[in-house]
Amino acid sequence: MVSFRVWFLLVGVLLYGPLMLFADAHLHAAWPGQYVLGFVTFAVLWLCSRTLEKTDQRLVWLCVAVATGFEILGSLVWGAYRYRYGGIPLFVPFGHGLIYVFAFTLAQMQFVRKHEMLFTRGVLAVAAAWAVAGVTFLSPLTGRHDFHGLIWLPIFAYVLICSPRKAFFAALFLATTDIELFGTWFHSWMWAPMTPWLHVSSGNPPSAIAGGYAIIDGSVALTLNACRGFAQLLSSPLAAPAELYRASRA
């Protein structure tokens, strides 16, 4: 039996994103509104992350740092999407952390673990249908030909089929889709009709953009391993040279 606390967390995260974006849509300037939303989102993330195991907590906050770098790259450098007031709103990095909290929590539910294949294949079917629809019948309805979303589908399909954490990535798709649909609907950000550098048409949002989290998650893992390696280097025994020196003086 899943506890009420777990359901409250999952539903709460899915509802918090749209409510926060609705509030952002009614701001008349970035300052001070977006900063207030940023601090509130930080507080919500801090409270929600405390429900996770210590290892997962560290990954959530590491994701905040890594995702910030990808936001700078994707929005300010690449220009694939732009936020309404420019820059990177303060609530965005912490929002990435909340998506991670949601994915960790949902992937660890007994029902999901028991029916992992059904869950992941179902999510993949939805993502594939959306990606195909984006370049077929949805194009005249939305006014956009979403070839950009279709590009991400193979990466997303790979992690859902081959990754040992496939349920985690499937859960990421649900939370990411929730945020992307409401964020673009409320005009908090907008994806460029033509993706820079690649020069392919893009949906608003791209359909399988959750596949991008495979890149973010891989970068989180690499960063974590690098930090562990650096920590081991710093904690390596330095007493041995001193002991050898004392022995030579004896």
Mean pLDDT for the stretch of residues 194-216: 88
The CA angle 118-120-123, to the nearest 5 degrees, is: 105
Tokens 């009709």 correspond to what residue? Answer: 193
Helix axes 4-25, 166-185, angle to 10 degrees: 30
- Average pLDDT over the chain, rounded to whole? 88
Whether residue 8 contacts residue 102, with contact meaning beta carbons closer than 8 Å, is answered with no
Pairing of strands 194-195, 200-201: antiparallel
Total number of domains in the chain: 1
Mean pLDDT for the stretch of residues 152-181: 92
Question: Tokens in use for 14?
Answer: 């899915």
pLDDT band at 26 (very low <50, low <70, confident <90, very high): very high
Q: Check whether 88 has a pLDDT greater than 50.
A: yes
The CA angle 10-161-182, to the nearest 5 degrees, is: 40
DSSP code per residue over 90-154: THHHHHHHHHHHHHHHHHTSHHHHHTHHHHHHHHHHHHHHHHHHHTTTHHHHHT---HHHHHHHH
Tokens 């989102």 correspond to what residue? Answer: 41
For residues 49 and 57, what is the distance between their CA atoms, to the nearest angstrom?
Answer: 6
pLDDT band at 41 (very low <50, low <70, confident <90, very high): very high
**Of 30-44, 64-78, 139-153, 218-232, which range is least confident?**
218-232
| Residues 184-195 pLDDT 10s | 999 999 999 999
- β-bridge mates for residue 195, sequence order: 200
pLDDT for position 74: 93
pLDDT band at 247 (very low <50, low <70, confident <90, very high): very low
Q: Check whether 224 has a pLDDT greater than 70.
A: no
User: By residue range, what is the domain housing residue 80?
Assistant: 4-249
Percent of the chain having pLDDT more than 70?
88
Q: Check whether 233 has a pLDDT greater than 90.
A: no
Q: What is the largest CA-CA distance in the chain?
A: 87
Amino acid at 207: S
| Residues 108-166 pLDDT 10s | 999 999 999 999 999 999 999 999 999 999 999 889 999 999 999 998 998 899 989 99
Q: Check whether 230 has a pLDDT greater than 80.
A: no
Residues 6+ apart with CB under 8 A from 239: none
Reference 22, options 43, 40, 37; nearest CA is 37
Q: Check whether 177 has a pLDDT greater than 60.
A: yes
Go through 50-76 and write b for each residue having 16 or more CB atoms within 10 A of its CB, e for each that does not: eebeeebbebbebbbebbeebbeeebe
Helix axes 33-49, 54-71, angle to 10 degrees: 150
